[in-house]
A and B are shown apart, each in its own frame.
Chain A
Amino acid sequence: MSWRRVRAIMAREGLEIRRNRMVLLSMSLLPLLMVGVVIGSLLTIAGLVPADLAKQGFVPPPGLAGMNLQAAVQVLVNDQNMLYLILTPTLLPIVIGAYSIIGEKETRSLEPLLATPVTTGEIVLGKTLAALIPAVLLGLLQFALAIAAIGAMTSAPVLAQAVRPLWVVGVFVAMPLLAGLSTLLAVVVSARVNDVRTAQAISSLVVLPIVGSGVAVLVGQIYLTTSVMVAASGALLVLDALVGWLAVRAFGRESILSRLG
């Protein structure tokens, strides 16, 4: 594994992505939307006053006992949105990842590339990182904007809940690992199909279970705590390694070249 070659691949992909405004634009849309959702839901509950909440029989969960009722509701709403913020970056690298290998076959640049000393592992790693890094950066930006909005629209205790260890681990560890998993899956698909559109369609499908597991949390199937988040991150790390290995396996240098489009 030569880091110099991995970096060369990343740099080239990066240049292409930066020069393809539409890709960057479409990637940034979803994170911006999610920040909008965070702001929008805080605005929606702004009208609720503690007296009404008490009348409706709202009881804050044990962790938030002692907090004023309005703040407790804000924390619950933010918690739900925070999970979205962790899940959405999973969708961002799919377009780039799915294009990465079959796209080069279609523009015929794959053959000269494969004729150089670059190894399959270096190609897969370089392309994965190139798709993952902008997705993670956008995910972090999205988190930073959401935290800024929460800080501006709520009280200090509510803000403190938004940056408690559960979400710090979630955003800085689980989110990149999750996005890495979907990138690698997209690269696997890209190495196995015969055209770009099929790659993008299949990759989106493949990522559904990942997002689905997040939704399971939302509807209360899994109760999220910091230790659940740490355990999930550990499991994701193993999965990432596994799918990474699979991606190198799936990339048959000869079969990609000679398979008929």
Chain B
Amino acid sequence: MIRAENLGKRFGDRAAVEALDLEVAPGEVFGLLGPNGAGKTTTVRMLTSLIAPTAGRAWVNGHAIGADDAAVRRSVGVLTEVPGLYARLTAAENLRFFGRLHSLDDLDARIRRFLTLLGLWERRDDRAGSFSKGMRQKLAIARTLLHDPPVVFLDEPTAALDPSAARVVRDFIAGLRDAGRAIVLCTHNLDEAQRLCNRIAIMQRTILKVGTAETLRAELAGDQLVVTIREVTPAARAAVVGGVGDAALTEVDGRFAIATAAPDALAPGLVRALVAAGADVLRVEVERPSLEAVYLDLVGEAAPADAEDAL
């Protein structure tokens, strides 16, 4: 559905995006995660034929970027970073305008369907300028999807939303995914990425790493088996050390954390040994590093200094 090969964009002598490869299948939500100025919006703009790449090639819904831009624009729905609605037009008029640009026929029915889905039907005749931030975002989402595009780009869709509205939008995105759309989701919300995305790309000018939330976490540090006992006796400690062999072991206040690739293989024997040593086992848990840890490990704690982005 979406394919990019070695895609790049320079603004003057600054490379905003470099050597970017990606592939998104129908029915997949592909997350673009990255700090401010990482090039997420630039990537979306290239893949929607809004700006021309300075390197590489890309195809959307089978149409080549740069060669067949009209067809690309017909296939995509894009939720831009800023809603960009017409403030003097009502919600329904905003949608009607875009529907007509897409030459849609059953426009009234579509407008009704999307405004209802996003909870704006009652406000259809109010001007968009009178809407709250979140309502504007919802109207922009309706505008993005009005023409049922097979490929959808969402640039921070839940950034302005309250938790319950964000949830409505997330459920909505999950519905789109299940309906077979290919979706690119830019977000700063790691939890959202984890819950919605089939695959996540962590990007900083280029894609640093891509995979499912699971594989990304596993790749960083692997799992930890954590066993907590009531009281640490020398016998208990000996049992742990004897049981785990040379696996990396840390011990804090009766809590033994063992880094291992196979916690399931390790746990039963370890518990048996501890019980045999007379220890009271309180908890046995498997801990995975959070996506946040993976993210910070890859992009660094500090956002890149970029004066323009601070404006």
Q: Could you list which residues of chain A lie within 8 angstroms of chain B, going by C-beta atoms?
A: 2, 4-5, 7-9, 11-12, 15-16, 19-20, 107-119, 253-254, 257-258
Q: Report A-chain residues with C-beta under 8 Å of the C-beta of B101.
A: 5, 8-9, 113, 116-118
Candidates A109, A115, A119; contact of B48 at CB < 8 Å: A115
Q: Report B-chain residues with C-beta under 8 Å of the C-beta of A16.
A: 86, 88-89
Candidates B45, B78, B86; contact of A109 at CB < 8 Å: B86
**Residue in chain B with minimal CB distance to A8:** B100
| Alpha-carbon separation in the docked complex, A7 to B99 (Å) | 13
- Knowing A108-B82, A114-B50, A254-B51 are in contact, say whether A4-B103 is a contact too (CB < 8 A): yes
**Residue in chain A with minimal CB distance to B147:** A116
Q: Is B80 an interface residue (CB 8 A)?
A: yes
Of B11, B45, B78, B86, most buried by chain A (CB within 10 Å of CB) is B86
| Alpha-carbon separation in the docked complex, A114 to B45 (Å) | 11
| Alpha-carbon separation in the docked complex, A229 to B160 (Å) | 59
Q: Is B84 an interface residue (CB 8 A)?
A: yes
**Residue in chain B with minimal CB distance to A122:** B101
- Knowing A4-B103, A12-B89 are in contact, say whether A115-B70 is a contact too (CB < 8 A): no
| Alpha-carbon separation in the docked complex, A114 to B80 (Å) | 11
Interface set, chain B 40-59, CB cutoff 8 A to A? 45, 48-52
Verify A20–B88 contact, CB threshold 8 A: yes
Verify A111–B80 contact, CB threshold 8 A: yes
Verify A115–B52 contact, CB threshold 8 A: no
Verify B50–A253 contact, CB threshold 8 A: yes
Q: Report B-chain residues with C-beta under 8 Å of the C-beta of A113.
A: 101
Q: Report A-chain residues with C-beta under 8 Å of the C-beta of B97.
A: 8, 11-12
What are the 5 closest A-B residue pairs judged by CB atoms, nearest first?
Answer: A8-B100, A108-B84, A109-B84, A116-B101, A108-B82
Verify A111–B100 contact, CB threshold 8 A: no
Q: Report A-chain residues with C-beta under 8 Å of the C-beta of B51.
A: 254, 257-258
Verify A15–B88 contact, CB threshold 8 A: yes
- Knowing A19-B88, A109-B84 are in contact, say whether A119-B98 is a contact too (CB < 8 A): no
Verify A4–B100 contact, CB threshold 8 A: yes
Return the CB mask of B62-105 against A: 1 if under 8 Å, else 0.
00000000100110101010111111110001000110111100
Of A7, A8, A9, most buried by chain B (CB within 10 Å of CB) is A8
Q: Is B176 an interface residue (CB 8 A)?
A: no
Q: Is B217 an interface residue (CB 8 A)?
A: no
Q: Report A-chain residues with C-beta under 8 Å of the C-beta of B86.
A: 12, 16, 107, 109
| Alpha-carbon separation in the docked complex, A32 to B196 (Å) | 61
| Alpha-carbon separation in the docked complex, A112 to B51 (Å) | 13
Verify A112–B89 contact, CB threshold 8 A: no
Verify B88–A254 contact, CB threshold 8 A: no
Q: Report B-chain residues with C-beta under 8 Å of the C-beta of A8.
A: 97, 100-101
Verify A115–B73 contact, CB threshold 8 A: yes
| Alpha-carbon separation in the docked complex, A7 to B97 (Å) | 10
Q: Report A-chain residues with C-beta under 8 Å of the C-beta of B70.
A: 117, 119
Q: Is B124 an interface residue (CB 8 A)?
A: no
Verify A112–B103 contact, CB threshold 8 A: no
Q: Report A-chain residues with C-beta under 8 Å of the C-beta of B87.
A: 107
Expressed in whole angstroms, the minimum distance between the Cβ of A232 and any Cβ of chain B is: 37
| Alpha-carbon separation in the docked complex, A117 to B23 (Å) | 24
Q: Report B-chain residues with C-beta under 8 Å of the C-beta of A107.
A: 84, 86-87
| Alpha-carbon separation in the docked complex, A4 to B103 (Å) | 7
Q: Is B140 an interface residue (CB 8 A)?
A: yes
Q: List 11 A-B contacts (CB under 8 A).
A: A8-B100, A11-B100, A16-B86, A16-B88, A107-B84, A107-B87, A111-B84, A115-B73, A115-B78, A117-B101, A254-B52
Expressed in whole angstroms, the minimum distance between the Cβ of A112 and any Cβ of chain B is: 5
Verify B78–A112 contact, CB threshold 8 A: yes
Verify B93–A257 contact, CB threshold 8 A: no
Verify A110–B88 contact, CB threshold 8 A: no
Interface set, chain B 109-154, CB cutoff 8 A to A? 140, 143
- Knowing A16-B86, A107-B87 are in contact, say whether A112-B45 is a contact too (CB < 8 A): no
Expressed in whole angstroms, the minimum distance between the Cβ of B66 and any Cβ of chain A is: 11
Verify B80–A115 contact, CB threshold 8 A: yes
Verify A116–B88 contact, CB threshold 8 A: no
Interface set, chain B 163-221, CB cutoff 8 A to A? none
Expressed in whole angstroms, the minimum distance between the Cβ of A20 and any Cβ of chain B is: 7
Verify A117–B102 contact, CB threshold 8 A: yes
| Alpha-carbon separation in the docked complex, A118 to B100 (Å) | 10
Expressed in whole angstroms, the minimum distance between the Cβ of B55 and any Cβ of chain A is: 15
Q: Report A-chain residues with C-beta under 8 Å of the C-beta of B82.
A: 108, 111
Q: Report A-chain residues with C-beta under 8 Å of the C-beta of B52.
A: 254
Q: Report A-chain residues with C-beta under 8 Å of the C-beta of B88.
A: 15-16, 19-20
Q: Report A-chain residues with C-beta under 8 Å of the C-beta of B140.
A: 112
| Alpha-carbon separation in the docked complex, A181 to B143 (Å) | 34
Expressed in whole angstroms, the minimum distance between the Cβ of A96 and any Cβ of chain B is: 14
